[in-house]
Structure 1
Amino acid sequence: MQFLKTHWNKFLILILSITIIFFAFSYTLDVKGKELVDNSFKEAVIVFGSAKALNAVISLAQGTELDLPFFTVAIGEVLDPVNDLVEQFSLVMLASMVSLGIQKIMMNFVTNDIYNYILFFSVIVLNLWMFYRFSKDERFRTLFFKISVILIFLRFAVPLIGLVNEFAYNSFVKQDYNISQLNESIVKVKEDVNEVTKNTIEHKENSSFFNKVAEKFDSNYYAKKVDEYKKAVDSSSEYIVALIIAFVFQTILLPLIFLFILYHFVRGIFNLGK
């Protein structure tokens, strides 16, 4: 009994170690974490594809010209601001996919069997070292303890990133910036712009010579086409900015916060005893 009172802290660490090993080899967090990161990556790829498709449709529309008697109206110029925003959004999505790809690699690294066996070995040695001491081992023992703590932290913190991302998105972001709904809106904008361009081209090809001549002097026709494009891209900037906010928060800001915490955690661990 006296032994337990004297070494209760060591037994507590032993119980924690058993729990750590159990969860490390049960892959309880890993399956869900991997699933969430994979889903986020697939979602990012889909949105990126929608953005590139919208960019292509707008580029096609920008090549559509309506000829007035003394000058040419490039109706696609109406879409320039949206197209510029789409191109910038594509860069954000590329960064998001890179971030998610790195998260997947990190997830595979810390959930690998080799990593788990190294962690298992470290925890076992650490516990043995608590009960059996060697001469002049203080410095090496302290270093080994710090490395073991970092290995444990990484083993569970990396899979938790996906869970934290999902929780943060569902709790604070989704109600205002629903990625699925916003992507559907972007697809709708793409379809609307494509429809206007398609109708414009077909109208020019199918119009009779006299109708083409009449339209050249019909300013209402040009105004109507410009309005059609404006209507097609109406609110598109809002959708794109909302998607940028959602993806920056979910795939860039939160991982940066994790790296910040990891940096200070490692720094704090190695500053122990100084």
Structure 2
Amino acid sequence: MSTYEVSDADLYYEVRGSGPLVVLVGAPMDADAFAPLADLLAPDHTVLTLDPRGVKRSTLAPGGTSRPEQRADDLAALIRHVDAGPAVVLGSSGGAVSALALAQYHPDVVRTVIAHEPPLDRLLPDADELLAKSEKLMAGYLAGDVVGAWKQFFQLANIYLPDDVAEMMFGGDRDPQQVAAERFWFGHEMRETITWLPDVAKLREADVMIGLGEESTGQLCDRTSTALAGLLGIEPTRFPGGHTGFADAPEPFAAALRTVLGARGETRP
């Protein structure tokens, strides 16, 4: 556990194990969300996890924000700092967008990027409608309607969440650090993430895989992931679980990831 200073942020990161480098990254998910998966991979991989800029233990200079290209710069700096790359990078959700930006802007530090369910709304034909709904829920959250905004978020994502569960998860007294990370997502990460447009030509030059949860059929990120895979001329690779399968079912997810890594020669003999 350590921190690394970049131009406008102090990045919290953790390194486990030894062997070929695997980076696990989310947005807004922090290092703790990937800890169980990282522990499973650590016996034969060096595993780097981190809190994205402005989230939890990674501090950000006043007025700073979190665009995919900034998060890509952060990842590149950390990979060079730990001096164990080039890396296989598994990014999930907003972290998948970070990983794609890394492959696009810093191809020298990556071997393979596995973009698990990137929420790239602008790839879809109904992008304007989707983005308008996102603007509404972001404004609602920042105005204080926390539970209502989260309900809209899950409805837009086509992920079923009962109202009583939403109230339990996002209402009442909560961990201030988690609330701060949430607010940063709605104020500084979400818009920048879902409106990012990848350079498909550059990504075709890299080893990019699109990951998709086996339980994500019909969800918004199923649509965005499938759209990007189509543009890249590849088929999505299925992983156990849904959008957060890496955290909800780390053991089968780790087994599936090991299969992918083994097929690419990214395991220690």
TM-score using structure 1 length:
0.22
Greater C-alpha radius of gyration: 1
Bigger relative contact order, structure 1 or 2 (CA pairs below 8 A, ≥6 apart):
1
